[in-house]
Amino acid sequence: MNWDQVQGKWKQLKGKAQEQWGELTNDDLDQVEGNRDQLEGKIQERYGKSKEQARAEVNDFLDRI
């Protein structure tokens, strides 16, 4: 799945993102609204990860869904 598909199905995939990153709240995921950069930023903020680590996690997420 590519990110354009994720954006189109964000409401359905939000639950999977919550499973992956449990420290992200529903409000966080609502704010992201399928925006990859914002998701990576929220992961960095909540988990204290580098931009590269957050990007790698999002890539892994894409590969699994």
What is the per-residue pLDDT across 48-62, written as a single tens digit (0 to 9) for each? 999 999 999 999 999
Q: Does CATH place domain 3-64 in 3.40.630.30?
A: no
- Under the banding of pLDDT at 50, 70 and 90, the label for residue 65 is confident
Check the CA dihedral 21-53-55-58 and report its sign.
negative
CB atoms within 10 A of CB 35: 15
Q: How far apart are CA 63 and CA 25, in angstroms?
A: 22
Instruction: Tell me: pLDDT of 7 over 90.
Output: no
Cβ pair 5, 57 in contact under 8 A: no
Look at residue 11 in the predicted model and tell me its pLDDT: 87
Q: How far apart are CA 44 and CA 64, in angstroms?
A: 20
Tell me the pTM: 0.89
Q: How far apart are CA 8 and CA 56, in angstroms?
A: 21
